[in-house]
Amino acid sequence: MTADLSERLDPPNETAARIALKIDVAIIGAGQAGLSSAYHLQRLGLAAERGFVVLDQSPQAGGAWQFRWPSLTLSTVNRIHDLPGMSFADAIGEAGEQVEAAVAVPRYFAAYEKAFGLPVHRPVQVKVVCDRGERLRIETDRGLYSARGLINATGTWESPYIPDYPGGSLFKGRQLHTRDYRRASDFAGQHVLVVGGGISAIQLLDEISRVTKTTWVTRRVPEFREGPFDEGAGRKAVAMVEDRVRRGLPPVSVVSVTGLRLTPAIAAARARGVLERLPMFSEITESGVRWADGSEQQVDVILWCTGFRSSLDHLAPLQLREPGGGITMTGRLATQVAKDPRIHLVGYGPSASTIGANRAGSAAARELLAYLGLEQPVGAR
């Protein structure tokens, strides 16, 4: 259930000088990781509203999915894993493969929130989280929250990453990021340079190349894997990412470890000659890019499909980061922050996937309640 904030919090244009709500646990973010965490907190006996709330800055249910481009359908998206306790099919029926993910997933998340009565407060934008001794002070645009523990599930959508290249400010064309993309027809008649070797880069390259001229560049030679991605390889890839965050290093994407599955769509794009990859350029010019050997390519648009970084700026006052920029993680699934065990990060590092977020939500809920001394006796659940 989405809370009616008008009865509980100060209006945004008034001074929020008092605590709006005092709870045991606050969850920031209502995507897959946040909803999974909320489900497990409730299942472990923590009461909605009095015990925990979910703070979501989006206007409606759906997490980052509601902002994805229209051509990302259930047939093209990576598998959407069921949230715990309710399957995708049970919530919205057998949706056709051509249904937009930006439509289907929000419907599923909204049904999930309603079915379990999850206390989601929206729209609430968390500005900053500060340490106030035994409690954490959460400052938002709708008032203040005070919590004993925090599960941060803000994902990455709000932090698109564009590398800094010489000459970037000189380019007279358009520079866009994956999150800005809507439809291929927007680029008709323009030469589009697609940067990046992930699945999103290849999907957008495939679409755009059907309506206009494209050039594809990547930092590393993409590795394509034929056949299904087996469970053993998946565990190995996640373990490598987990090892990094346990050592306080910045996480890397799982796909950078696993490579890309050679799907029929990717094979078709390769057959069309779309996947003729070039190495990264050395600088950006007014009209395009220049490689180290001096060769140049004029382009109208640079589309940076270069991924995202974890959206954690609101946690900066807690000084969780190591000198190298990472956060040392601990706990069973590496969700607990070593410097402050009251804080769990789900959807960070090894749990930055839909199935990983589900498992991380369960582990974070159990470990946090144990740390706070809020475990419920088995018979009381």
In eight-state DSSP terms, residue 19 is: E
- At residue 74 the predicted structure's pLDDT band, cuts being 50, 70 and 90, is confident
pLDDT band at 376 (very low <50, low <70, confident <90, very high): low
Highest mean pLDDT among 83-97, 133-147, 212-226: 133-147
In the three-class reduction of DSSP (H, G, I as helix; E, B as strand; rest coil), residue 268 is classed as: helix
Residue 46: how many CA atoms within 13 Å on its side-chain side? 29
pLDDT band at 55 (very low <50, low <70, confident <90, very high): very high
The answer to whether residue 17 scores a pLDDT higher than 50 is: no
Greater confidence (235 vs 186) lies with 186
- The whole-model pTM stands at 0.88
DSSP assigned state of 372: T
* pLDDT band for position 18 (cuts 50, 70, 90): low
**How much helix, strand and coil, in percent to the nearest 5, is found in the chain?**
30, 25, 45
Q: Are strands 174-177 and 301-304 parallel, antiparallel or unpaired?
A: parallel
* Cβ atoms of 297 and 306 closer than 8 Å: no
From CA 138, how far away is CA 132, in angstroms rounded? 10
Is 60 exceeded by the pLDDT of residue 374? yes
Which backbone phi and psi does 326 adopt, to 5 degrees? -90, 180
Q: Provide the pLDDT for residue 254.
A: 63
Which tokens go with 245?
């965050």
- Above 80 in pLDDT, residue 97? no
Residue 381 CA to residue 4 CA, distance in Å, equals 27
Residue 136 has, within 13 A of its CA and on its CB side, a CA count of 27
What is the rounded average pLDDT of the residues 24-44?
A: 97
State yes or no: pLDDT of 358 exceeds 80. yes
Copy the structure tokens of residue 249: 């290093």
pLDDT for residue 316 is more than 60: yes
The region, left, alpha or beta by phi > 0 then psi within -120 to 50, assigned to residue 272 is alpha
Cα(376)–Cα(381) distance, integer angstroms:
7
30 close to 54: Cβ distance less than 8 angstroms: yes
Average pLDDT over residues 337-366: 90
**296 φ, ψ (degrees, to nearest 5):** -130, 160
Confidence of residue 15 (pLDDT cuts 50, 70, 90): very low
Specify whether the CB–CB gap between 342 and 368 falls below 8 A.
Answer: yes
pLDDT digits (tens, 9 = 90+) for 157-215: 999 999 999 999 999 999 999 999 999 999 999 999 999 998 899 999 999 999 999 99
Q: First-to-last CA distance in the chain?
A: 21
How much is the pLDDT for 352? Answer: 80
pLDDT greater than 50 at residue 10: no
Report the pLDDT averaged over residues 314-327: 96
Q: What is the DSSP letter of 299?
A: -
Residue-wise pLDDT tens digits, 166-181: 999 999 999 999 999 9
What does the mean pLDDT of the chain come to? 88
Domains and CATH numbers, the chain: 5-158+309-380 (3.50.50.60), 168-226+262-304 (3.50.50.60)
CB count within 10 Å of CB 169 equals 7
Report residue 237's pLDDT band, with 50, 70 and 90 as the boundaries.
Answer: confident
Rounded distance, CA 332 to CA 363, Å?
7
CA distance 70 to 81: 20
What confidence category does residue 233 fall into, taking pLDDT thresholds of 50, 70 and 90?
Answer: low
Would you state the pLDDT for residue 351? 85
Q: How confident is the model at residue 304 (pLDDT cuts 50, 70, 90)?
A: very high
Which residues on adjacent β-strands are paired with residue 146? Answer: 22, 137
Q: Where are the alpha helices (DSSP H) in the chain?
A: 32-43, 88-92, 101-116, 199-208, 231-246, 255-258, 264-271, 354-371
Read off the pLDDT band of 58 (50, 70, 90): very high
Query: Contact, 193 vs 299, CB < 8 A?
Result: yes
pLDDT tens string 108-164: 999 999 999 999 999 999 999 999 999 999 999 999 999 999 999 999 999 999 999
DSSP letters along 185-251, please?
GGGTTS-EEEE--SHHHHHHHHHHTTTS-EEEEESS---EE-S---HHHHHHHHHHHHHHHHTTPPP
Question: Does pLDDT of 82 surpass 80?
Answer: yes
